[in-house]
Amino acid sequence: MPPESKTFNPDSTDNLLAEASHCVKCGRCLSVCPVFRETGRETEAARGKLSLIESASAEEIKTSSKRLKEIVSFCLLCGACAEICPNLVPGDAIIQKARETFNSKDNLSLPFKLTLSHILPFPARMNGVHKAGIIFHPLLLKKVPSESGLNWRFPFPHDKKHRLIPELTDEPFLKKYSLKKPPSNPSAALFVGCVSNYVYPAIAEAVLDILQHLEISVFIPPEQACCGLVAFGTGITGIDRKLAQKNIAAFESTDPIPIVAFCSSCSSHLKNYSELFEEKEWRERALKFSQRVKDFSEFLFDAGFQNQSDLKPVDSSRRLTFHDPCHLRRKQGIFDQPRQLLKSVKGVKFVETGEENLCCGSGGSFNLSHYDISLKIFKRRLRSIEKADVDTVVTSCMGCLLQFLDGLYQENKAIRVKHLAEILGETFPR
Ligand code: SF4
Ligand code: SF4
């Protein structure tokens, strides 16, 4: 009989230790952990982390020792260990909860902490920061001569690599669209997410075009905020819940229509909101919200996008593959839908790379805190893409998209990366 699935309860240190103790040290997770594969250090696979968490002294846990904080930072929360574990140990969930426990002692850098606690939860402040970014970025960023269209490299103080960060948009998507009259009888509500709102509004516009093409009228609640996944991943207690409450309240008036999110990390986190709350009232409100959430690929597939016969063919020289975001494939179990949607496009040569399970190395804030390892993980994914002779990588997570854009730039590759909506949006006349 398969073992019973375990749900992690973060309430106490005892629970943290108890969950970690379910690991039987078989070592299967080592073979799939992207971090362990690159570093070869046992402490960086789930087995090593869980073992160290388990063996940590109560004092170390209470004081959030430097050693523990560092150990739990080496994780993408990709879920590969949980997927392969014969004892159904939720390695990623335990590590996330361990971060919550160890990070409670204010160990994060001040700017990061200020951003997460005093800016992210407040859309008006986010807009203020965006305005400041627009004014100051010409002073901070240099134009990169690249035909990718991407455009800026940012000299991070301790970063020798000059990672790419894209240009901020002049007008956030939500601001622009909140001026439009909402439809009287919408059939879907759109969750936009920070990257699309401030950096890639064109992707949100492509999503809107596609939905309108399918005659789905869309309402975009203006009060929506960041989904909270980055705060959740770093373990900063409370901020993720504050953001979840804002979003739940913002979408409540649209009940019961589906809430469509086109970043798979956002849709995955939105679907899990109810797990953030202990209080009955918020748990129930969150559950109602989460049950309405659909990832864009799932929603389009259910709406029958792939069955249209009048789609315009796209550039037939393209060899496309779909990069599965961990938050889509592992956390939502969605694999077929984006493939069926892409295969329905005339002119597309869809290829699998044979390494669909590989993470791209983004991992929320992992690629900020462990940039070199993150790039090595990316290179492994890139090798499989090059072997398959792919010229366009399609994905549906903004974190993966940014990781690919930077990784391809660092490796000087001419491969394109596109959001699913950008490819599907090319298939009908405007
Ligand atoms: S696969 Fe599961 S039981 Fe085995 S070492 Fe990893 S976490 Fe422990
Ligand atoms: S969640 Fe991913 S990165 Fe973290 S320990 Fe598990 S396999 Fe490794």
**DSSP for 218-268, written as a single string:** EE--TT-----HHHHHHT-TTHHHHHHHHHHHHHHTTTTS-EEESSHHHHH
Domain membership of residue 338 (yes or no) is: yes
Substitution candidate for ligand 1 out of 22, 25, 31 with most atoms within 8 A of CB: 25
| Pair 159, 285 in one domain | yes
**Whole-number Å distance between alpha carbons of 271 and 294:** 8
Residue nearest to ligand 2 atom 5, measured at CA? 46
| Pair 73, 177 in one domain | no
The domain of 23 spans 13-105
Domain membership of residue 4 (yes or no) is: no
**Boundary residue ending a domain (261, 285, 300):** 300
Instruction: Please count the CA atoms within 13 angstroms of the CA of 5 that sit on its side-chain side.
Output: 4
Place of tokens 């129930």: 284
Domain membership of residue 420 (yes or no) is: yes
| pLDDT tens track, the chain, 430 positions | 333 333 334 455 567 667 788 899 999 999 999 999 999 999 889 999 998 887 776 666 666 677 788 888 999 999 999 999 999 999 999 998 888 877 654 555 566 566 666 666 666 666 666 666 555 554 444 433 333 333 333 444 445 457 777 778 888 899 888 767 778 889 999 999 999 998 899 999 999 999 999 999 999 999 999 999 988 888 776 888 999 999 999 999 999 999 999 999 999 999 999 989 989 999 999 999 999 999 999 999 999 999 987 777 777 678 999 999 999 999 999 999 999 999 998 888 999 999 888 999 999 878 888 999 999 999 999 999 999 999 999 999 999 999 999 999 999 999 999 999 999 998 876 6
Report strand pairing: 152-153 vs 392-395.
unpaired
| Pair 213, 270 in one domain | yes
| Pair 169, 289 in one domain | yes
Number of domains in the chain: 3
| Pair 142, 270 in one domain | yes
Question: Do residues 285 and 358 touch, judged by C-beta distance below 8 A?
Answer: no
6 lines ligand 1 (CB under 6 A): no
| Pair 247, 289 in one domain | yes
Long-range contacts of 151-154 (CB under 8 A, 24+ apart): 153/409
We report the CATH number of the domain holding residue 379 as: 3.40.50.1860
| Pair 284, 362 in one domain | no
| Pair 68, 150 in one domain | no
Domain membership of residue 110 (yes or no) is: no
| Pair 127, 196 in one domain | yes
Domain membership of residue 8 (yes or no) is: no
**Burial class of residue 160, CB neighbours in 10 A (0-12, 13-18, 19+):** exposed
We report the CATH number of the domain holding residue 40 as: 1.10.1060.10
| Pair 284, 358 in one domain | no
| Pair 37, 167 in one domain | no
Ligand 1 center to 403 CA (angstroms)? 28
Give φ, ψ of 89 to 5 degrees: -75, 125
Substitution candidate for ligand 1 out of 21, 30, 87, 92 with most atoms within 8 A of CB: 87
| Pair 259, 335 in one domain | no
